[in-house]
Chains A and B, each alone.
Chain A
Amino acid sequence: MIENKEKRYEPIIRICIAFLVAFAVFAAIIAICGYNPLDAFYQMFRGAFVGKFNFGSTIEDFILILIVGSAYSLTRRIGFFNLGLEGCLYIGAMFSCAPGFLLPDLPSYIIIPVCLISGMAAAAIWASIAGAMKAFLNVNEACTTIMLNYVAIALTDFLLNNPWSAHSAAPETPHVQASAMLPKLPLAPSRASTAIFIAIAVYAFVFFLTYRTTFGFKFRNVADNPRFCEAVGIKSKWVILGTVILSGALGGLAGGCEILGVYGNFIQNFSVNSAFNGIIACLLVKNNLALLPISALFIAFTRTGGNGMEYYTGVPSALIDTVVPILILFVAMDRIFDYKRLWYWLKGKLQSRAPAKAKGGSAK
């Protein structure tokens, strides 16, 4: 039993230390640029949480990040580097939008599910392309998913310019019928909607699926040891495909929530790289599902808080873009914050130094 037994809370403590260190570095950067870091942090906090509009904007970002983060978490667990969520989000948004303006007026309780399910189904089919290529042909998923993102965006461009164009001045689709819109939260003038409940449900679903179901059991095993899975009768290939499809469907749901909750129609390039924020949220906590909401909230906070910081203190909000990479860097090498090993190392050094000195003294 030479192996270290790691307590469950230890990785969490390491991540927290990484956060603190990253913020210290960020503060140093702000100070070097000639601003007061404490003031900047205060305005950042205000910009993200104080006031209906600020808080609502944070929630708006949080919804998207939490759904995409949960979706990404699924594939991350099977070792599938799913960068295709952006594409799934576009496809999901487009196909959630379409029934909203194509179908005749229907009551909310019918049209909203129809829209969301249509978007999820389309995104699931989209994701299955990369999933099947990975599972059966072992094609590198990072390549296929990134390339498919461009195809997905081009596809939505085609649809909103041609068959589903609103024929307005801007490249966009018609608005969905009023009953298809998700109700807004009482945080006007922000755009935060009741999609927050969908996001929480998705997160709970992913949590439950991962740890409490046989399917979760299978996909947790597949990445770590596919040959073990084969031997105990788990069909790895189908598990990989299934997980990727599910993840894609959730990515599509994120897109649907954006359309029905925020925009009301599909506008060209409505979401630039927003799916990647979800991926980052998941990477930031090393796919620890329990911490995912905190990390999602944190990313949302840096996005909205950055604006507040710029407005009131003059610190350029582009600077906020440095904090997340710094943080990822520190989390990736969180072993340097392995306080226990550090402790043992120090203890060992002290112990070995003391007798060595004593010996050295006696020898002389």
Chain B
Amino acid sequence: MEKIVEMNNIHKQFPFVKAVDGSRFDLYKGEIHSLIGENGAGKSTMMKILYGMYEIDEGEIIVNGERVTDGRYTTHDAIAHGIGMVHQEFMLVKEMTVLENIILGSEPTKKGSRNVVIDFDAARKKISHYIENYQMAVQMDKKVMNISVGEMQRVEIIKALYRGADILILDEPTAVLTPQEADKLFEILDIMRRDGKTIVFISHKLKEVMKISDRISVMRASKYITTVNKSETSIPELATLMVGREVFLNLERTPAKEGEVMLDVRDIYVPSERELSKIRGISFQVRKGEVLGVAGVDGNGQSELGEAVAGLRRIERGKVFLDGVDITNRSPLKIRRQGFAHIPEDRNDRGLNKKHTFAENMLAAEIRDRPYSRFGILHTKKIMEEARARSERFDIRPRNPENLAGSLSGGNAQKIVVARELGASGKKFLLAAQPTRGIDIGNIEGIREMINDAKAEGVAVLLISADLDEILSLSDRIIVLYEGRITGELVNDGNVNEEELGLLMIGGGKND
């Protein structure tokens, strides 16, 4: 096979951080090459260098036999060499249609119009070619604001192809996708590979990496570790390479205790931003010392359910009781005072205040209480002591509680949230919404253990997660949400398989 990209001895220094330290990477034509590593390992930086977004301090890049780093190498040059990149954050104009977004910046113009009149027909023709060849269903005339995340991603891919990309870099493409959308993406990638395109797949989800890659390169702490063939490796081996030690994602689940009912949700109706009654009549109970997992494709009412229970969203109808006390439509503060802990689904949104210190974030919910404050005056020393103690207990790195929350990696930032919610005494119930979304594998392991430990101590846990592995490894019982209703309830006795759950998640199943 022909080697089309070679990056050797790449160094890149950012202020205060060596982002890439002597790494290498190569690509053969027509392969899917995964680049894996924990958050902050330098994968994205490495690929942004290849895409010409960052200048390197040292090293060489060879594309199609040409040493591009001899001169100035920019994104413009990268595109000219047939390199395209789909970023983690989509770069689309929401107010414009899909078609307009795709051609933006390289619009075909009508002949004889002196490059003034856009030839939409020619564009449409060219785009439908990609749509048909790669089975990428996109609606060209819809505005981007009205399409799903999965479709936005396909638009981004077409955008890159439209500019003549033969090498396509996808930066954590599945982070925003539901399992179904991810599968669809893999099909598309597979067709593209057969068509001779070369794909770089950046991820830290090992299952997906094993599913679609030909070769896998591992980065750790800004350094290149190794490249392996998919056929010669396994998930545990990759995890070890990535983290630098062995990880055990299959944690020993503590058996559930038959406790009294802690959370009692009775036939609630909850609106979403756009529609009334997104959740239509859900009832369930969570007992002391058990984990109830809520599975489902994202957007079937999980977020609304979590926020409603936490008092952050109005409940139209129905009641919620926590340990016998009616908490329906109570203020979040009052609900918290009942022993309610909440890991919000988006740590950057509700979970943390990134501009404030780690200590302030960690104790934000308890700051009014003694010993952290008296008569409204903060006891800074106690706050720092406690924050330091919790950073030990929950293994948050770096330990210094005076760091800004925004300066920590995703996994450690999420641990601050966990430490805030589970570090306080007297917690009876934990709502954990997407507790390990978008964080690295070492910290996933840690956070799952913390949830399991909380359960073992008798806390009732409601776990909402789009990650089926997480649901299966932590839950004692599982309910499946589909379009705002519960389509099935299973006891997780070890015999539940993903297919069965998957069927319930798309609305089929026993109760239907």
Name A residues whose Cβ lies closer than 8 Å to a Cβ of B: 1-5, 211-217, 220-221, 224-225, 227-235, 340-341, 344, 348, 351-352, 355-356, 359-360, 363
Contact = CB atoms under 8 A, between A and B. Distances in A.
Given A213-B378, A217-B378, A221-B356, A233 B15 contact: no
Interface of B: 13-17, 19, 40, 45, 55-58, 70, 310, 312, 331-333, 335-336, 342, 344, 349-356, 360, 364-365, 367-368, 373, 376-378, 380, 403-404, 406-409, 420
A345 to B, nearest CB: 9
Nearest to B336: A233
Given A232-B365, A359-B70, A348 B57 contact: yes
Contacts of B368: 214
B19 A355 contact: no
A1 B352 CA distance: 17
A5 B332 contact: no
A77 to B, nearest CB: 11
Most chain B beta-carbon neighbours within 10 Å: one of A4, A224, A225, A344: A225
Contact of A231 (B14, B350, B354, B377): B350
Contacts of B40: 1-2
B350 A227 contact: yes
Given A212-B377, A344-B15, A355-B58, A230 B353 contact: no
A232 B378 CA distance: 17
B310 to A, nearest CB: 7
Given A1-B17, A233-B331, 10 more contacts: A2-B14, A2-B19, A5-B16, A5-B404, A214-B376, A225-B355, A230-B350, A231-B350, A231-B351, A340-B15
27 contacts: A2-B14, A2-B19, A212-B378, A213-B373, A213-B376, A214-B373, A214-B376, A215-B376, A217-B367, A221-B360, A224-B356, A225-B352, A228-B349, A228-B351, A230-B350, A231-B342, A232-B336, A232-B365, A232-B420, A233-B331, A233-B336, A233-B365, A235-B331, A344-B13, A348-B13, A352-B56, A359-B70
B353 A352 contact: no
Contact of B55 (A3, A234, A348, A359): A348
B57 A352 contact: yes
Contacts of A231: 310, 312, 332, 342, 344, 350-351
A271 B373 CA distance: 41
B353 A1 contact: no
Contacts of A225: 349, 352-355
B14 A230 contact: no
A356 B69 CA distance: 9
B55 A4 contact: no
A134 to B, nearest CB: 20
Nearest to B406: A3
B248 to A, nearest CB: 26
Contacts of B404: 5
Contacts of A360: 70
Interface centre among A3, A221, A227, A229 (most CB of B within 10 A): A3
A4 B70 CA distance: 30
A174 to B, nearest CB: 40
Contact of B333 (A4, A235, A352, A356): A235
Interface centre among A1, A220, A355 (most CB of B within 10 A): A1
A214 B55 contact: no
B219 to A, nearest CB: 14
A123 B150 CA distance: 54
A356 B409 CA distance: 35
B407 A3 contact: yes
Contact of B409 (A1, A217, A224, A363): A1
A352 B55 contact: yes
Contacts of A1: 17, 40, 407-409
A208 to B, nearest CB: 8
Nearest to A216: B378
Contacts of B356: 220-221, 224
B354 to A, nearest CB: 8
B234 to A, nearest CB: 30
Nearest to A222: B353
Contacts of A229: 353
A128 B16 CA distance: 45
A5 B57 contact: no
Complex A-B, nearest 4 residue pairs according to Cβ-Cβ distance, in ascending order:
A233-B333, A231-B350, A232-B365, A225-B353
A216 B350 CA distance: 20
Nearest to B307: A231
Contacts of B336: 232-233
A36 to B, nearest CB: 42
A78 B126 CA distance: 51
A71 B57 CA distance: 48
Given A224-B353, A224-B355, A233-B333, A4 B365 contact: no
B15 A4 contact: yes
B126 to A, nearest CB: 37
Given A230-B312, A231-B342, A355-B58, A214 B378 contact: yes
A286 to B, nearest CB: 13
Contact of B367 (A211, A214, A352): A214
A336 B119 CA distance: 43
A212 B333 contact: no
A221 B349 CA distance: 13
A1 B40 CA distance: 6
Question: Which of A2, A3, A232, A355 is most buried by chain B, counting CB atoms within 10 A of its CB?
Answer: A232
A163 B14 CA distance: 68
Nearest to B398: A1
Contacts of A341: 15
A39 to B, nearest CB: 42
A28 to B, nearest CB: 32
Contacts of B45: 2
Contacts of A352: 55-57
Contacts of A235: 331, 333
Contacts of B13: 344, 348
Contact of A228 (B16, B56, B70, B352): B352
